[in-house]
Amino acid sequence: MLGDVVLRHGGGHVVRPFYEVPWLRDGSAEPDGLLGHMRNEFACVPFGVPYAEDAVVDEWRPSLSAPVSGYDPELDASDDLLHGYGCVGDWTLVQQTSHAIEIALSYPETSAIERVVRRIAVDPASPTIDFTVTVEARRKTRRPIGLHPNLALPSVAGAFRIDPGEFEFGVVHPGGPEPGVSRGVPGAVFRALDEVPVRVGGTAAFDRLPFSHDTEEIIQLCGVDGRVVLTDEASRVAYRLSWDAAVLPSLLLWISNRGRQYSPWSGRNLCVGVEPVAAAFELGCRTSLANNPINARGIATAVELDPQRPLSIAYRLEMLSGQSIA
């Protein structure tokens, strides 16, 4: 995982775009699994974790319990780990230079995925980071895959603006995702990020963060064009994340707005996960591989993997120059 990232722009402007979870540095007991070492940015192969069928609205329930079918119906125990084995496995250094690093992880022998390779390169002439994730398969299979940059949010309500570019439709998380806290209407479909249906009636703008109220929200923008611009008006800086939308056709927005009061979150998490995915939310392999309300609309929720053709996904985060920050 990428951590402690500092970007410097001309004139000495220094920013830390990513979110650092507080429990890694405050002496708290280390949580198990992914949360025990969650950092700024990581790849999720496969993406998600299984959900209980009764945790989602009726329209989504058949997808959560459907049998896995197709040319590779077998799921491995590592497929059910939160955001994949890559988030807990011990990676190996392949090569490193002054401006780039390449690391690799071999998956368990029972997994359909053989190896994942990550390359991260910085541009010494500009505040830009280029990433590549390569997935090698043992056999033909399909899996949900996602990228997981976590951006820090300012403390001023509404000071962080999201411009997702063009997308076909959006969907509110079908399970809440935090019962009794989340305000979006589970499973609701919308067409604009500033018109997301909410439980109290009407719509709310989800393009301006953080919210003034404590909440936990997840929405998925489907049929995206592969770029999103993120403007932090408090820090007077903007970023652009770009990727191949032909491979990852959705953008998941995880809005953690002090809505989780239990440990280790303890009401202090303030970030937005800006996550290009081929997945049905973070509902795990079974749901993403099954017929579900997203792929029923023509948006892929899994990626085809072939041992003869490793899949490489390139993406870029850049700090934009010459931005007019209102």
Closest by CA position to 171, among listed 44, 259, 293: 293
Q: Is the pLDDT confidence value at 147 over 60? A: yes
Map residue 24 onto helix, strand or coil.
helix
Inter-residue contact 162 to 193 (CB < 8 Å): yes
CB contact at 8 A, 270 and 257: yes
**Could you please report the per-residue DSSP string of 29-52?**
PPPSGGGGS--SB-EESS------
Q: For residue 247, is it within any domain?
A: yes
Give domain status of residue 225, yes or no: yes
251 has which bridge partners?
221, 276
66 in any annotated domain:
yes
On whether residue 192 sits in a domain, the answer given is: yes
Q: How many domains does the chain have?
A: 1
Residue 131 in any domain: the answer is: no
Closest listed residue to residue 61, CA positions, set 291, 217, 254, 221: 291
User: What pLDDT, on a 0 to 100 scale, did the predictor assign at position 69?
Assistant: 78
For 152-164, the pLDDT digits (tens) are 999 999 999 999 9
Predicted pLDDT of residue 325: 52
C-alpha to C-alpha distance for 303 and 311, rounded to whole angstroms: 9
Is 311 inside any structural domain?
no
- Tens of pLDDT, residue by residue over 221-261, are 999 999 999 999 998 899 999 999 999 999 999 999 999 99
Q: How far apart are CA 127 and CA 7, in angstroms?
A: 5
User: Which DSSP state fits 159?
Assistant: -
Residue 108 lies in a domain: no
> E strand or H helix at 65, and its extent?
helix 61-65
d(CA 159, CA 196): 19
- Number of CB atoms found within 10 A of residue 65's CB: 11
Q: With bands split at pLDDT 50, 70 and 90, how would you rate the model's confidence at 324?
A: very low
Report, as an integer, the average pLDDT of 296-318: 97
Q: How many CB atoms lie within 10 A of CB 296?
A: 11
- Amino acid (1-letter code) at residue 79: D
Structure tokens, 277 = 């995915």
Q: Establish if 326 belongs to a structural domain.
A: no
Predicted confidence at residue 185, as pLDDT, reads 97
Q: Tens digits of per-residue pLDDT, 81-107?
A: 999 999 999 999 999 999 999 999 999
Tell me if 189 sits within 8 A of 294, measured CB to CB: no
Q: How far apart are CA 188 and CA 151, in angstroms?
A: 25
Q: What is d(CA 122, CA 94) in angstroms, rounded to the nearest whole number?
A: 17
Distance CA 252, CA 170 (A): 9
Q: Residue 43's domain spans which residues?
A: 7-87+142-303
- Cα–Cα distance for residue pair 2/121, rounded to 1 Å: 11
Residue 42 belongs to a domain with what CATH number?
2.70.98
For 23, residues 6+ apart whose C-beta sits below 8 A from its C-beta are 30, 31, 35, 264, 266
Single-letter amino acid code for the residue at 178: E
